[in-house]
């Protein structure tokens, strides 16, 4: 449905915001574009919308090459972070505006705006101005405006980032339900990994204008292809520890660990990065050969669980290791000797970051 081929966007001054990118987004798919600040997410979205002209490559929408078409002829609706509502127009006029631009007749305009407003629970607010609405209501107006013109694709640029934490969760669920119902292909830019995992059918993780990984939320969470993706995805960052292979095991920070499947055959001495999520390690207060030794440092209460940070046992500057333990196990006292025992089947091994 949306097809990007060999896409390059260079800004004056030599910044390569998009660096030879290929991506196919299926009809009806919800794709989240995720990555750190400056990785090129917004530029990519704007290039799909036609607000930026690519330096090289092609943009296809619905099987048609739209690279040379202006935004108005691409049949996509973009929803911005600040909603970009017209302050002098009421809600009804804001929703109907793109229909007016498309020269849809007055009666049909009204009917479609009213039906869309009804669907988004805005019927009582049609004669208000944007300044008289809450953040969540403004967001729904921006959505209604995008939906009313029945586009072939929605392009969202961090549409939830101006909402407070609680409203953000409600709006997220609402958005996902709406997208399911409408079945419209959606590209959603965010730098919030939790939001990307929760919303998307597939997540595209960007780094430096390129795609680091494209996969389902489960794939990017459970099998990140690089240490960059591993460190970026997850509510608590993955433990990534230097180590080396020896005799079919991995020597990591004073522990002898069982390698997951394919890493069993590494030649002795091979340097590796060993990765395990804090959720996939257990805490032992008895010495374990297969446990990373340390002392309890900071303990953070996450509600139903505790995030325990182990500091190097000898007080040296070895790596910190984090473990998530159930809240009912009780809070360990700082300084208590402890061992973080990774579940081998959940561990990941990288060589040269891959
Ligand atoms: P953020 O999450 O901070 O919004 P982003 O991933 O959306 O970041 P972009 O806004 O796409 O990143 O920017 C990608 C790179 O291109 C950055 O290095 C940025 O400084 C640069 N850039 C963006 N727009 C322009 C411009 N109009 N002129 C020059 N450089 C630009």
Give the pLDDT of residue 70. Answer: 94
Q: Is any ligand 1 atom within 6 A of the Cβ of residue 353?
A: no
- In DSSP notation, 53-91 reads --SEEEEEETTEE-TTS-GGGS-EEEE-TTTT--TTS-H
Q: Which residue has the higher pLDDT, 172 or 316?
A: 172
The pLDDT confidence band at residue 170, using thresholds 50, 70 and 90, is confident
What is the pTM (predicted TM-score) of this model? Answer: 0.90
Averaged pLDDT, 56-63:
96
ipTM: 0.96
Q: Is any ligand 1 atom within 6 A of the Cβ of residue 43?
A: yes
Tokens of 165: 């934490």
Say yes or no to pLDDT of 125 above 90: yes
Give the pLDDT of residue 316. Answer: 73
| CA of 191 relative to ligand 1 center, distance in Å | 13
| CA of 44 relative to ligand 1 center, distance in Å | 10
| CA of 150 relative to ligand 1 center, distance in Å | 29
Q: Is any ligand 1 atom within 6 A of the Cβ of residue 291?
A: no
Distance CA 284, CA 296 (A): 11
Residue bearing the CA closest to ligand 1, atom 18: 38
Q: Is any ligand 1 atom within 6 A of the Cβ of residue 39?
A: yes
The 10 Å Cβ neighbour count of residue 82 is 12
| CA of 189 relative to ligand 1 center, distance in Å | 13
Averaged pLDDT, 56-82:
91
Give the pLDDT of residue 267. Answer: 93
Averaged pLDDT, 124-150:
89
Q: What angle do CA 176, 4, 202 make, to 5 degrees?
A: 30
Q: Is any ligand 1 atom within 6 A of the Cβ of residue 9?
A: no
Say yes or no to pLDDT of 314 above 80: no
Give the pLDDT of residue 339. Answer: 96
Atom index in ligand 1 nearest the CA of residue 189 equals 7
Q: Is any ligand 1 atom within 6 A of the Cβ of residue 14?
A: no
Residue of 18, 41, 156 with the most ligand 1 atoms within 8 Å of its CB, for mutation:
41
Say yes or no to pLDDT of 262 above 80: no
| Domain-wise residue ranges, the chain | 2-225, 239-350
Cα dihedral sign, 71-75-79-84: positive
Q: Which CATH number fits domain 2-225: 2.70.70.10, 3.40.190.10, 3.90.1300.10, 3.40.50.300?
A: 3.40.50.300
Residue bearing the CA closest to ligand 1, atom 29: 11
Give the pLDDT of residue 270. Answer: 95
Give the pLDDT of residue 140. Answer: 86
| Third-level CATH fold of 239-350 | OB fold (Dihydrolipoamide Acetyltransferase, E2P) (2.40.50)
Give the pLDDT of residue 41. Answer: 96
Residue 136 φ/ψ, nearest 5 degrees: -65, -40
């Amino acid at each position: 449905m949306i097809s990007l081929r060999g896409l390059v966007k260079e800004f004056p001054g030599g910044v390569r915001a998009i660096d030879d990118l290929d991506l196919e987004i299926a009809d009806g798919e919800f794709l989240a574009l995720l990555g750190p600040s400056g990785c090129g997410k917004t530029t990519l979205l704007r290039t799909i919308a036609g607000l930026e002209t690519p330096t090289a490559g092609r943009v296809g929408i619905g099987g048609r090459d739209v690279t040379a078409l202006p935004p108005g002829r691409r049949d996509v609706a973009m929803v911005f972070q600040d909603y970009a509502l017209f302050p002098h127009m009421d809600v009804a006029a804001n929703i109907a505006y793109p229909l007016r631009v498309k020269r849809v007749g007055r009666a049909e305009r009204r009917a479609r705006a009213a039906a869309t407003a009804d669907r988004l629970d805005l019927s009582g607010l049609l004669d208000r101005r944007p300044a008289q609405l809450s953040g969540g209501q403004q967001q729904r107006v921006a959505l209604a405006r995008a939906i009313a013109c029945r586009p072939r694709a929605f392009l969202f640029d961090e549409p939830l980032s101006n909402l407070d934490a609680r409203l953000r969760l409600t709006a997220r669920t609402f958005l996902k339900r709406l997208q399911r119902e409408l079945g419209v292909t959606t590209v959603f830019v965010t730098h919030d990994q939790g939001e990307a995992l929760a919303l998307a059918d597939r997540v595209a993780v960007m780094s430096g204008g390129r795609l680091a990984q494209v996969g389902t939320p489960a794939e990017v969470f459970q099998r990140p292809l690089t240490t960059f993706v591993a460190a970026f995805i997850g509510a608590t960052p993955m433990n990534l520890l230097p180590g080396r292979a020896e005799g079919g095991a991995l020597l990591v920070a004073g522990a002898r660990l069982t390698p997951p499947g394919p890493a069993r055959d590494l030649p002795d001495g091979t340097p590796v990065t060993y990765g395990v999520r804090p959720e996939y390690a257990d805490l032992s207060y008895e010495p374990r050969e297969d446990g990373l030794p340390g002392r309890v440092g900071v303990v953070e209460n996450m509600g139903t669980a505790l995030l325990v940070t182990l500091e190097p046992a000898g007080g040296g500057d070895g790596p910190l290791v984090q473990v998530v333990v159930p809240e009912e196990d009780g809070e360990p006292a700082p300084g208590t000797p402890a061992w973080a025992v990774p579940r081998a089947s959940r561990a990941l091994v990288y060589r040269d970051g891959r």
